[in-house]
Chain A
Amino acid sequence: MRTDEIVVILLGVSSIVFVWWYFLGKKRKEVRVSESVDIIVDGGYSPEVISIPAGKTTQFNFLRRDPTNCLEELVIPDFRIKRGLPLNEKVTVEITPKKSGEYTYHCGMNMYKGKIIVKG
């Protein structure tokens, strides 16, 4: 086996490991909020994991900065919310969860995801 081939194999394996770690091994940081939270929508949601108290109304203010149409729609299925996110315009969604648990929110095609953790 030639040296360049060995280099390509080693680089390839390490790139695969890197891709795995970078995209799938990501630990999401949980942000605790009580009344309202501003979420920037740009290549995903930031912050992504939000923990809120049960039984209280929390305002989620989404601001889309990403001009691609992938993120133009916001869906929170468990709360039956589907909203268009106009570019650079704050869209407020109010949620009053009754039960504690984990609920996801995502873009129209469920490619970008975030999580709402409700704590009792």
Chain B
Amino acid sequence: MEKKKFSFKGMHCATCVQTIEGALEDLDGVQEVRVNFASESGVVVYDPQKITEEKIVETVAGVGYGATVQIGGNSDHEKLEKEKALNSLKTKVTVGLGVGAVLVWGTFPGLMETAPSILKNFYVQLLLATPVQFWVGWEFYRASIPALRNRTANMDVLVAIGTTVAYVYSAVVTLFPSLVERAGVEPEPYFDVAVIILALILLGRFLEARAKAGTSEAIKKLFGLQAKTARVVRGKAEIDIPIEEVRVGDVIRVRPGEKVPVDGVITGGESSIDESMVTGESIPTDKHMGDLVIGATINKTGSFLYKATKVGQDTMLSQIIKLVEEAQATRAPIQRMADLISSYFVPIVLMLGILTFVIWYVLGPAPSALYAILNTVAVLIIACPCAMGLATPTAIMVGTGRGAQMGILIKDAASLETAHKIDTVVFDKTGTLTEGKPVVTEVAVIDGARRVLPRAFSQENPQGDPFLGVPRPASPLGLDKDETELLRLAASLEKGSEHSLAEAIVNCAQENKMGLLQATKFKAHAGRGVEGQIARKKYLLGNALLMAENKVDTKLAVGEMQRLESEGKTVMMLSEGKKLLGLIAVADTIKSTSREGVGKLQKMGIETVMITGDNERTAFAIAKSLGIKRVLSEVLPDQKEAEIRKLQEAGRKVAMVGDGINDAPALAAADVGIAMGSGTDIAIESAGIVLINKDLNSVPRAIELSKKTMRTIKTNLFWAFAYNVLLIPVAMGILYPFFGLLLNPILASFAMASSSISVVANSLLLKRGTIF
């Protein structure tokens, strides 16, 4: 069953709801329809096997309305409802504070002398306080009643009991003063206490709600990035349609300055696209025919046509939003303590309140009953479980949101928490530190003349560092007959392989327009190479290990191989049976951000390690150019996980950065798995953090973000706990025997209101401050 939200157009009365619902309910495959008139939207639950989204839209159109699929997000209805609730809260706070101020004027010693006598009248005070107690205070009663019925206690129960005690006592004093006089207490009401507490706590709640909305701002911003319309090519015409109506396969025109509406592949034209909103990468990327474009990114220069490949909730932006939302649903381990305490907190505070009353009544100074009541109220009011409840989730919300803006997707709160403890980062080489698109750089035939293929160096690399250079594939004229044959044989063997080295060889052969031969009995040896038969002859193509296993004599090639490997190239040998035919060297280019990213990690005191299936020489050569000192080379794919575990057993907190299927077990085994967003689905699935951009600087950034978030969580938890641990005893009167100090219930409510706001505000600070 699939559930989709639709927006409806043209609804003008409640009967329209029935018309739409009736029409859709009659369709085979529709299980449930709920249409909301106020928000002009509805939800349809249907079986996608039996009925399509288009059919639903068509049916609605058939009865005279427009329908489009809604993409994620809160409905307007929900937003309106929230706004309404906030406005009502604002009114209550204003009335409460206004009445409270008047009451304080009439009762507060020092102030009351200036007040008109009418305000000093207890009956007038009762009249003013009663509506506030029950209308403003209804928020608390309303929440307390069902909670109490469910045998749970929340903060509202504490506030409701606390203020009711103050109000009822004051009402009794006003209506039956003789009762309290008989107990030796001067009849003096505390209406101001009840009213001000209610108003201040609601004010706190109002401000907290406003601040809390800021914690999910990043997600809202992501939603807002979406284009509203798309210019779709229909026949010879180009028409603008709402983005919700774009379907997979539609050809879309994007002009300079416009947003790319959905994900797709360029079919005509080229441009430079600003992808910063999705990847965090600030430099626009050049896109040509066949390149992927991402919805919500901005087209800078050219106009191009592209074919939509992903729409609606399948687009990258929607997936990012989904991942971030899912992450925010998970709980950080650090929260466990706060969770445990908060589940006992309110009942314990209630018990402490009762205890306070008994102690003050029995042991307190005269008038003990009054002291007992006021201190009990203070205890009930000062206790603030909210600050504890908000401490971690708000920081996680802001932290994950900030990450998403930088192109760092944190998939769960636990990864965000663990990342700050990381002391070792293991990088997979291919596709992570390097571009992962190796190209053939040399072909050498044994017994023939070795030929070094031409290579161009990029302008960014004037010194000619071989690792930053962009090797160019062999030109057709650059190879002699023997070399061409060697490459042809190798490419024919590798045709069936999916290894990146194989791709380099096949590509080189194809670019040189070599016809490939038919290879049979193909067999891949993980981490070693491949074998196969061509024209009834058995060929092997792979590393020294494969050759040794098959007893191929490689003596003649050793010197050349060592030279190439010391340059960081991967060398593969081709043999016909046991006879070595030649060598093919393949090199991968290092990503421009790798060196910087590694350097930053090292500055943070984190050890960087490179893990690769390459042999030691090649691996060290690349590691050296990156500044990585520790290299785990010749690691077979299935051993990567074991290597991570070995590091962990040595007491290291390990982050693994990788992108391939073979990295998945290591990513899962590491304390924090970091997958490159361009990597395979399974790698992304196994990782806790996904870097949407290919920028290796994101690794230190993610760790830095984790550090900052954890610092915020710890400060929040410290204040939330310290606040309750210190102030509850003060409210109980622990300081009274020593200093004669008591906590005024009004001050208690002020402190309570500010405690949860301060926690949210502290979390919001995470939005500021630079992260590299």
Q: Which residue of the partner chain, among A80, A87, A92, contacts B329 with CB atoms under 8 Å?
A: A80
Q: Within A38-78, which residues are at the interface with B (CB < 8 Å)?
A: 42-44, 46, 48, 66-70, 75-77
Residue interface bits B352-392, CB-to-A below 8 A is 1, else 0: 00110110011000000000000000000000011001100
- How far does the alpha carbon of A40 sit from the alpha carbon of B689 in the complex, in Å? 36
Establish whether residues A86 and B358, one from each chain, have CB atoms under 8 Å apart when the complex forms.
no
Contacts of B148 in A (CB 8 A): 43
Establish whether residues B74 and A43, one from each chain, have CB atoms under 8 Å apart when the complex forms.
no
B498 within 8 A of A: no
B269 within 8 A of A: no
Establish whether residues A84 and B78, one from each chain, have CB atoms under 8 Å apart when the complex forms.
yes
- How far does the alpha carbon of A90 sit from the alpha carbon of B36 in the complex, in Å? 12
B75 within 8 A of A: yes
CB distance from A95 to the nearest CB of B (A): 13
Contacts of B327 in A (CB 8 A): 80
B579 within 8 A of A: no
Chain B: number of interface residues, binned into ranges = 35 or more
Q: Which residue of the partner chain, among A16, A42, A66, A110, contacts B355 with CB atoms under 8 Å?
A: A16
Residue interface bits B142-153, CB-to-A below 8 A is 1, else 0: 111111111111
- How far does the alpha carbon of A66 sit from the alpha carbon of B150 in the complex, in Å? 13
B510 within 8 A of A: no
Residue interface bits B1-39, CB-to-A below 8 A is 1, else 0: 001000000000000000000000000000000100000
B154 within 8 A of A: yes
Contacts of B358 in A (CB 8 A): 8-9, 12-13
A19 within 8 A of B: yes
Question: Given the interface contacts A8-B357, A67-B85, A90-B34, does A109 sit within 8 Å of B390 by beta carbon?
Answer: yes
Establish whether residues A16 and B351, one from each chain, have CB atoms under 8 Å apart when the complex forms.
yes
Which single residue of chain B is at the shortest CB-CB distance from A15?
B354
A33 within 8 A of B: no
Which single residue of chain B is at the shortest CB-CB distance from A16?
B351
Establish whether residues A20 and B347, one from each chain, have CB atoms under 8 Å apart when the complex forms.
yes
Contacts of A48 in B (CB 8 A): 150
Q: Within B58-86, which residues are at the interface with A (CB < 8 Å)?
A: 74-75, 77-78, 81, 85
Question: Given the interface contacts A68-B139, A109-B390, does A82 sit within 8 Å of B328 by beta carbon?
Answer: yes
Q: Which residue of the partner chain, among A5, A23, A66, A86, contacts B153 with CB atoms under 8 Å?
A: A23
Which single residue of chain B is at the shortest CB-CB distance from A59?
B1
Establish whether residues B329 and A81, one from each chain, have CB atoms under 8 Å apart when the complex forms.
yes
- How far does the alpha carbon of A34 sit from the alpha carbon of B454 in the complex, in Å? 68
Contacts of A68 in B (CB 8 A): 139, 142-143, 156
Contacts of B154 in A (CB 8 A): 70, 111-112
Establish whether residues A86 and B81, one from each chain, have CB atoms under 8 Å apart when the complex forms.
yes
B762 within 8 A of A: no
Which single residue of chain B is at the shortest CB-CB distance from A46?
B150
Which single residue of chain A is at the shortest CB-CB distance from B387?
A109
CB distance from B541 to the nearest CB of A (A): 42
- How far does the alpha carbon of A43 sit from the alpha carbon of B389 in the complex, in Å? 17
A-B contact count (CB 8 A): 118
Establish whether residues B362 and A24, one from each chain, have CB atoms under 8 Å apart when the complex forms.
no
Establish whether residues A5 and B146, one from each chain, have CB atoms under 8 Å apart when the complex forms.
no
A113 within 8 A of B: yes
Establish whether residues B344 and A43, one from each chain, have CB atoms under 8 Å apart when the complex forms.
no
Which single residue of chain A is at the shortest CB-CB distance from B328?
A82
Contacts of A5 in B (CB 8 A): 361-362
Residue interface bits B310-349, CB-to-A below 8 A is 1, else 0: 0000000000000001111111000100110011101100
B209 within 8 A of A: yes
CB distance from A58 to the nearest CB of B (A): 13
- How far does the alpha carbon of A5 sit from the alpha carbon of B355 in the complex, in Å? 13
Establish whether residues A84 and B74, one from each chain, have CB atoms under 8 Å apart when the complex forms.
yes
Establish whether residues A43 and B143, one from each chain, have CB atoms under 8 Å apart when the complex forms.
yes
Question: Given the interface contacts A23-B153, A87-B81, A110-B339, does A82 sit within 8 Å of B143 by beta carbon?
Answer: no
Contacts of B350 in A (CB 8 A): 19, 23
Establish whether residues B362 and A43, one from each chain, have CB atoms under 8 Å apart when the complex forms.
no
Q: Which interface residue of B142, B148, B358 has the most chain A CB atoms within 10 A?
A: B358
B532 within 8 A of A: no
Contacts of B155 in A (CB 8 A): 111
Establish whether residues B362 and A9, one from each chain, have CB atoms under 8 Å apart when the complex forms.
yes
Contacts of B205 in A (CB 8 A): 69
B393 within 8 A of A: yes
CB distance from A88 to the nearest CB of B (A): 9
Contacts of B75 in A (CB 8 A): 86
Establish whether residues A80 and B393, one from each chain, have CB atoms under 8 Å apart when the complex forms.
no
Question: Given the interface contacts A8-B361, A19-B350, A68-B143, does A110 sit within 8 Å of B328 by beta carbon?
Answer: no
- How far does the alpha carbon of A53 sit from the alpha carbon of B577 in the complex, in Å? 58
Q: Which residue of the partner chain, among B329, B347, B385, contacts A111 with CB atoms under 8 Å?
A: B385
Establish whether residues B354 and A12, one from each chain, have CB atoms under 8 Å apart when the complex forms.
yes
Which single residue of chain B is at the shortest CB-CB distance from A45?
B150
Q: Which interface residue of A46, A68, A75 has the most chain B CB atoms within 10 A?
A: A68
Establish whether residues B151 and A22, one from each chain, have CB atoms under 8 Å apart when the complex forms.
yes
CB distance from B321 to the nearest CB of A (A): 12
- How far does the alpha carbon of A86 sit from the alpha carbon of B41 in the complex, in Å? 14
Establish whether residues A77 and B330, one from each chain, have CB atoms under 8 Å apart when the complex forms.
yes
- How far does the alpha carbon of A113 sit from the alpha carbon of B389 in the complex, in Å? 13
Establish whether residues B355 and A12, one from each chain, have CB atoms under 8 Å apart when the complex forms.
yes
Establish whether residues A75 and B329, one from each chain, have CB atoms under 8 Å apart when the complex forms.
yes
CB distance from A6 to the nearest CB of B (A): 9
Contacts of B346 in A (CB 8 A): 23
CB distance from B141 to the nearest CB of A (A): 11
Establish whether residues B3 and A92, one from each chain, have CB atoms under 8 Å apart when the complex forms.
yes
Which single residue of chain A is at the shortest CB-CB distance from B144?
A43
- How far does the alpha carbon of A22 sit from the alpha carbon of B354 in the complex, in Å? 15
Establish whether residues B3 and A111, one from each chain, have CB atoms under 8 Å apart when the complex forms.
no
Establish whether residues A80 and B330, one from each chain, have CB atoms under 8 Å apart when the complex forms.
yes
Q: Which residue of the partner chain, among A20, A43, A108, contacts B393 with CB atoms under 8 Å?
A: A108
- How far does the alpha carbon of A1 sit from the alpha carbon of B342 in the complex, in Å? 37
- How far does the alpha carbon of A66 sit from the alpha carbon of B386 in the complex, in Å? 18
CB distance from B742 to the nearest CB of A (A): 19
Contacts of B357 in A (CB 8 A): 8, 12
Contacts of A86 in B (CB 8 A): 75, 77-78, 81
- How far does the alpha carbon of A23 sit from the alpha carbon of B619 in the complex, in Å? 63
Q: Which residue of the partner chain, among A16, A24, A70, A108, contacts B143 with CB atoms under 8 Å?
A: A70
Q: Within A79-120, which residues are at the interface with B (CB < 8 Å)?
A: 80-82, 84, 86-87, 89-90, 92, 108-113
Establish whether residues A111 and B146, one from each chain, have CB atoms under 8 Å apart when the complex forms.
no
CB distance from A52 to the nearest CB of B (A): 17
Q: Which interface residue of A48, A69, A84 has the most chain B CB atoms within 10 A?
A: A69
CB distance from B527 to the nearest CB of A (A): 32
CB distance from A39 to the nearest CB of B (A): 12
Contacts of B326 in A (CB 8 A): 80-82
Contacts of A111 in B (CB 8 A): 154-155, 342-343, 385, 389
Residue interface bits B108-129, CB-to-A below 8 A is 1, else 0: 0000000000000000000000
The 6 A-B pairs with the shortest beta carbon distances in the complex, nearest first, are A43-B146, A109-B389, A82-B329, A44-B150, A12-B358, A43-B147
Q: With A70-B154, A111-B385 given, can you name 5 additional A-B contacts, CB distance below 8 Å?
A: A9-B358, A12-B354, A67-B85, A110-B331, A110-B338
Chain B positions near chain A (C-beta within 8 angstroms)? 3, 34, 45, 74-75, 77-78, 81, 85, 139, 142-156, 205, 209, 325-331, 335, 338-339, 342-344, 346-347, 350-351, 354-355, 357-358, 361-362, 385-386, 389-390, 393, 412
Q: Can you give 9 A-B contacts (C-beta < 8 A)?
A: A5-B361, A23-B152, A26-B151, A44-B146, A68-B142, A84-B74, A109-B342, A109-B393, A110-B338
